[in-house]
Structure 1
């Protein structure tokens, strides 16, 4: 059963190959590619913001400690 699904999935690009030869099909492919890039970018930026926030808190805490004469590093 799963081998039939794999072979059917392999034939889908061949069946839809004509769609990408038309301008609207190419536009759809470009829009889908941009959507994938945006979704991946949002995930990466979400992680980056968390890392920047954590770094700012840690550096701020170290700065406060240095004001009170406590040397951590």
Structure 2
């Protein structure tokens, strides 16, 4: 059975990542992934908060003029 080069690559890098610098690299890559995902989630969260603030502000203005929506 012949394995593809992509399947064998993690096995070849195993010794490279077992050292102290390799582990530091893995931690830094994991932190970078968390930061990138966090940025995307926060971007969506800010949009949702902004939309909610606009809707609540509009409902408040309508209630000042005597129009009760809720």
TM-score by length of 2: 0.93
Matching of residue 72 in structure 1 with residue 60 in structure 2: no
Residue 18 of structure 2: aligned partner: 21
5+ residue gaps, structure 2: none
Please say which of residues 13-22 and 43-52 is displaced more in the overlay: 13-22
TM-score by length of 1: 0.89
Q: Which structure is higher in helix share?
A: 1
- Please give the root-mean-square deviation of Cα atoms over the aligned residues, in Å: 1.5
Aligned residues: 69
5+ residue gaps, structure 1: none
Q: CA deviation at 1:39?
A: 0.2
